[in-house]
Structure 1
Amino acid sequence: MTGDREPRKARSSSRQKSAGARVSAADAMRSAIEQLSELLGRAPESVSSLRPTDQGWEADVEVVELERIPETTSVMASYQVVLDPEGKLLAYERGRRYTRAQVDRKDGR
């Protein structure tokens, strides 16, 4: 029975990051999506940007706020998410809201 526990311990410890280590960009993206989804109660559509910072990671995550028909008229929101180096969510803030069909222009309209 103890022999059965040992392999599990070895497998799980190999997945753990050392304290203070920065997660990869892919892990940071997954972490931002999972944690924001849990807080908002809706699944994010995508991560539109991700950048490392001295304090960890910052990401912009796109979320459907109001589903409409046709789908191109659905209301979207861009959330700015701050993660620590290990991928734990520290803060988030809703930025702009827009319709799914809206295209950004150079003049900011």
Structure 2
Amino acid sequence: MAHQLPPPLPAQDIAELAVRDITQLTGKKPLGATSVMPTDDGWTVEVEVVEDRRIPSSTDMLALYEVVLDLDGELLSYRRTRRYSRGAGGS
């Protein structure tokens, strides 16, 4: 009898795990996942967070973190890839 692997986690669950992990690791308030991309051996998720709260909030500093999870949703690595002012345009 062949051993069956459990079904892979859906992208929504992976996004929630990545947001949770970044919140726990950085202590920053997450705004949410901006992308979820499957890879050959897991997932890469980008999570946007409020890096530095300012008054008015339209001048908050935001950051984008890249979170790498394995197929089971376990954190492998994370890194900040971008830091920018709220409302700053661009990619």
Q: Do both proteins adopt the same fold according to a TM-score greater than 0.5, normalized to the shorter chain?
A: yes
C-alpha separation between the residues in 2 aligned to 1:44 and 1:78?
Answer: 10
Q: Percent sequence identity over matched residues?
A: 41
C-alpha separation between the residues in 1 aligned to 2:89 and 2:24?
Answer: 28
Q: Decide which structure has the larger Cα Rg and report it.
A: 1
Work out whether 1:97 is the aligned partner of 2:83. yes
Letter paired with 2:59: T
Matches within 5 A, 1:28-107: 28-104=14-90
C-alpha separation between the residues in 1 aligned to 2:82 and 2:15?
Answer: 20
Higher helix share: 1
Gapped runs of 5+ residues in structure 2? none
Question: Is this contact kept in 2: 1:33–1:43, CA < 8 A?
Answer: no
C-alpha separation between the residues in 2 aligned to 1:65 and 1:43?
Answer: 8
Question: Is this contact kept in 2: 1:23–1:87, CA < 8 A?
Answer: yes
* TM-score normalized with structure 2 length: 0.88
C-alpha separation between the residues in 2 aligned to 1:33 and 1:87?
Answer: 12
RMSD: 1.6
Q: CA deviation at 1:46?
A: 1.2
Higher strand share: 2
